[in-house]
Structure 1
Amino acid sequence: MNGPGNRDYHRSVRPRCRVKPPLAAPLFQWVWEEGMGAGTVLKTIQTQSLKAGMYVVKLHGPWLQHPFWRTRFVVDQDDVDTLLASPVDRVDIDTDRGGDVDAAGNEDAHGPMPCADDAALVLAAGLPPKSGGAQAHAGMGDELARARLICDDGRALVEAMFGELRMGRAIVLDGARDLAARIDASVSRNPLALVSLARLKTADDYTYLHSVAVAGLMSAVARDLALPEQQRERAAIAGLLHDMGKAHVPLAILNKPGKLLDEEMALMRDHPAAGERLLRDAGLEDPDVLHVVRHHHERMDGNGYPDRLAAEDLPVLTRICAVCDVYDAITSNRPYKAGWDPAESLRRMASWQGHFDPLALKSLVRVLGIYPVGSLVRLASDLLAVVVAPGDHPLAPPRVRIFFSARSRSHVFRRDVDLGASSDRIVGIESAHVWGFRDLEKLWMP
């Protein structure tokens, strides 16, 4: 099988040049837009007639020139004010899903209010509740300090568990449960700090820190999907334990820089089943976690391994792990390949038909952003920048740190720019490898 579960697959699709700008719009539309049902009532109105509570389905004009990265949403007053100050002069509204205007262009007080589906869509897009009761996230810098400790402790714990298993000893899971709780707490304070930091791992650290990264990603996606608290706890522990079966794969195979032989690949593909056996022997009885461990390399089209399960046999945590596992794998430095750019990775994952649950993948994009922290981007000004933080508004472009001129091929004075309040904009993704940039994390980490 040639796919994300095959280490040689990543070589065959490694990007060799920067991504062309048009890729940004399709990914965004894939993440945010909802299908329009038959009989939908649409109306084009002047932006001046837009009122809070209306459901916008289209902003007229090129998508890169309007102030939002999403084109279908219930507008609040802040959205209305932003649109009034923008070049957008007309919008299309769905009067079945939001407020209407009367013949004189005034708000129809008797028009339909946003329905339950609209509220779910707003929450799914990552917007705060309209009541304003959303808990504020901790600052990126503050949480990164805590996340460093979690990553250090996590690496040590996972390495110790691997060592015990390699020597044929049973492992004690109490430490893993405590670490999973710390990971989930960090994600609750700031969903980007730990997952951004855990992505930065050397090839030698990959096997151990990968488990920490997947635990953080799974916890963040579980929260984004509003899973019950018990399921969120299981998501973190499942991510931490999902690759325990690799303890029975020789290090020479795990760290081999070249193509694996058929018998070596067979050993690699046995690690999910081996992990389930090892964790059962250690006393783990949670069926959801055990399912994740055994089946995180299954695919929605039934072409995964070890059991080629169909989509209906894959519960939500297993679907989430399949997405998070691949994302961290392809964005990390490995013995046999350099990690891909985070934004490029999301675009490629969206193009792999049949691999992932679309809802889980869309949730991951909402958590990370279309341009995740650490992405190298080219601006319309021909300046290169690294994404340092998401925008202030969930629909806004990110904040970036400019450091290089592509035109003069020279470094420039570093400065931070909020693209949501700037005339500059992202026009494409760049390859740090092609440009010869190393240690880009030093640019975005506080």
Structure 2
Amino acid sequence: MIKKIGVRELRVGMFIHDFSCHWMDHPFARSRLMLTSEDEIRKIIDAGIHEVYIDTSKGLDAAHAPTAEEARRDLEKELVAIAGREPAPVIRVSVADELARAAQIRNQAHQLVRTVMHDARLGKAIELDQVEPVVQNITESILRNPGALTGLLRIKNKDDYTFLHSVSVCTLLVAFCRSSGMDAELTRQAGLGGLLHDTGKALVPDEVLNKPGRLTDEEFEIIRRHPKDGYDILLKTPGVGEIPLDITLHHHERMDGSGYPDKLPADKISTMAQMAAIVDVYDAITADRCYHKGMPAAEALRKIFEWSKFHFNPQQVQSFMRCVGIYPVGTLVLLESGRLGVVTEPHETNLLSPKVNVFFSTKSNTYIKPVQVDLSKPLGMGGGDKIQSYQSAEKWRVDPMKFFVLPA
């Protein structure tokens, strides 16, 4: 049985099933292991980990700890409450109408980040006049329909992850700022910071950046230098503002002081850096990498919400969840009817009832004629169904993004 416990309850002989944190935030070569010494427990505590999941079938039990299922049910109740508090951003055009423009913007931004990284590696200055128009294009696409570009950015080639991750962080951060009511200039500065936040990775050797396995302690230290390296690069860029510098330097800081490079306490981390930290981890854990499989976006949100007790600002996490939806655009969901569909747009007032393109029957295990279902409407008006759960595309061997936009 899988149970959730605080790290102060850990004992030698327990089997760690999950560290309940982003894989870069724990110091072990594996995410599942038997605890064999007090030193290992101390290492977990010192890493800023507060809760873990243990497997009682493989090690010692914690009698009064909640099961993973109990913890999940409690979490879902909290999410349902959050979903109804504030409306989602207004959609101005449909996903279908925005998709072609979004694809061009994605490709333009991807190439720009690749160029910025290449120039930074060669010691060349970053040209802000090349970066700012791309951020403007991303912002305008988000204003028309945030789901089109964010949906496209769910698809990342493993070899292009470093570049597309920066585009995703920019896009999500702009959407986050807009849904939070921030003005145009703050949003623009945040977008610049998002697009440039990982510039310091240009100085990380490729064999470390793309290593297909757990990093050594020495390699971790190289990776952990990238916020300061990126900050130093941006300092040499004429006209760069304080917000991009702050995001670049502090997007790996954590509210409990366990982050890097400065181990800042919560009251020393700016609101924008707190927002960037959430977006950065969300995109990282949903992406496929050479060393780990990305998780579904809905599951990633639940993980971040769980971790927000210690690592992230809980109010900002809830705001981000309202921004992207409890079931983010691109999420594969199972409906009560037994159909599978891909979420294409959030509902403006009910995040539990988005628009979904259904395309597969789990009852017959076959593809069906694709159709859009608006879950906020009753039966007979294009609705009449409910989300039962989010699903793994691998489990059903389907590609939901093929049905992101239905044929005319």
Q: Which runs of 5+ in 2 are unaligned?
A: 1-18, 33-52, 54-68, 378-382
User: What amino acid maps onto 1:4 in structure 2?
Assistant: H
State the partner residue of 1:366: 322
State yes or no: 1:200 paired with 2:160: no
After TM superposition, the runs of 4+ consecutive aligned structure 1 residues lying more than 4 A away are 7-11, 19-24, 392-396
State the partner residue of 2:332: 376
The worse-fitting range, judged by mean Cα deviation, of 278-287 and 348-357 is: 278-287
Q: Secondary structure at the match of 2:150?
A: helix
1:242 aligned to which of 186, 194, 197: 197
Name the CA distance, whole Å, in 1 between partners of 2:252 and 2:25.
13
- Structure 1 pair 247–150 and aligned structure 2 pair: CA distance change class (3 A): same
Name the CA distance, whole Å, in 2 between partners of 1:219 and 1:443.
26
State the partner residue of 1:385: 341
CA deviation after TM superposition for structure 1 residue 262, in Å? 1.2
RMSD: 2.7
> Is the 2:341–2:400 contact (alpha carbons within 8 Å) kept by the matching residues of 1?
no
TM-score between both structures, scaled by the size of structure 2: 0.78
Q: Secondary structure at the match of 1:400?
A: strand
Name the CA distance, whole Å, in 2 between partners of 1:242 and 1:26.
34
Matches within 5 A, 1:233-312: 233-312=188-267
Name the CA distance, whole Å, in 2 between partners of 1:158 and 1:140.
25
When the two structures are aligned, how many residues end up with a matched partner?
Answer: 346
The superposition leaves residues 87-133 of structure 1 with CA deviations (integer Å, 9 ceiling, x where unpaired) of: xxxxxxxxxxxxxxxxxxxxxxxxxxxxxxxxxxxxxx1268xxxxx
CA deviation after TM superposition for structure 1 residue 3, in Å? 3.5
Name the CA distance, whole Å, in 1 between partners of 2:149 and 2:99.
7
- Larger Rg computed on CA atoms: 1
Q: Secondary structure at the match of 1:283?
A: coil
State yes or no: 1:230 paired with 2:181: no
State yes or no: 1:443 paired with 2:403: yes
CA deviation after TM superposition for structure 1 residue 5, in Å? 6.4
> Is the 1:24–1:428 contact (alpha carbons within 8 Å) kept by the matching residues of 2?
no
- Structure 1 pair 136–387 and aligned structure 2 pair: CA distance change class (3 A): closer
The superposition leaves residues 271-322 of structure 1 with CA deviations (integer Å, 9 ceiling, x where unpaired) of: 0010000111223542222111011000111111111101111111101100
Q: Secondary structure at the match of 1:298?
A: coil
Q: Which runs of 5+ in 1 are unaligned?
A: 33-69, 73-124, 129-134
CA deviation after TM superposition for structure 1 residue 183, in Å? 1.2
Name the CA distance, whole Å, in 2 between partners of 1:215 and 1:382.
36
- Structure 1 pair 361–334 and aligned structure 2 pair: CA distance change class (3 A): same
Name the CA distance, whole Å, in 1 between partners of 2:211 and 2:231.
24
State the partner residue of 1:93: none
> Is the 1:10–1:330 contact (alpha carbons within 8 Å) kept by the matching residues of 2?
no
Name the CA distance, whole Å, in 1 between partners of 2:291 and 2:78.
28
State the partner residue of 2:362: 406
CA deviation after TM superposition for structure 1 residue 204, in Å? 1.0
State the partner residue of 1:118: none
State the partner residue of 1:26: 77
CA deviation after TM superposition for structure 1 residue 236, in Å? 0.6
- Structure 1 pair 126–161 and aligned structure 2 pair: CA distance change class (3 A): same
CA deviation after TM superposition for structure 1 residue 152, in Å? 0.6
State yes or no: 1:3 paired with 2:21: yes
- Structure 1 pair 188–341 and aligned structure 2 pair: CA distance change class (3 A): same
Matches within 5 A, 1:60-79: 70=84
CA deviation after TM superposition for structure 1 residue 359, in Å? 2.4
CA deviation after TM superposition for structure 1 residue 239, in Å? 0.4
CA deviation after TM superposition for structure 1 residue 393, in Å? 4.4
Name the CA distance, whole Å, in 2 between partners of 1:11 and 1:371.
29
Q: Secondary structure at the match of 2:211?
A: coil
CA deviation after TM superposition for structure 1 residue 23, in Å? 6.8
Matches within 5 A, 1:305-324: 305-324=260-279
User: What amino acid maps onto 2:405 in structure 1?
Assistant: M
- Structure 1 pair 299–192 and aligned structure 2 pair: CA distance change class (3 A): same
- Structure 1 pair 383–285 and aligned structure 2 pair: CA distance change class (3 A): closer
Q: Secondary structure at the match of 1:221?
A: helix
Name the CA distance, whole Å, in 1 between partners of 2:179 and 2:106.
22
State the partner residue of 2:389: 428
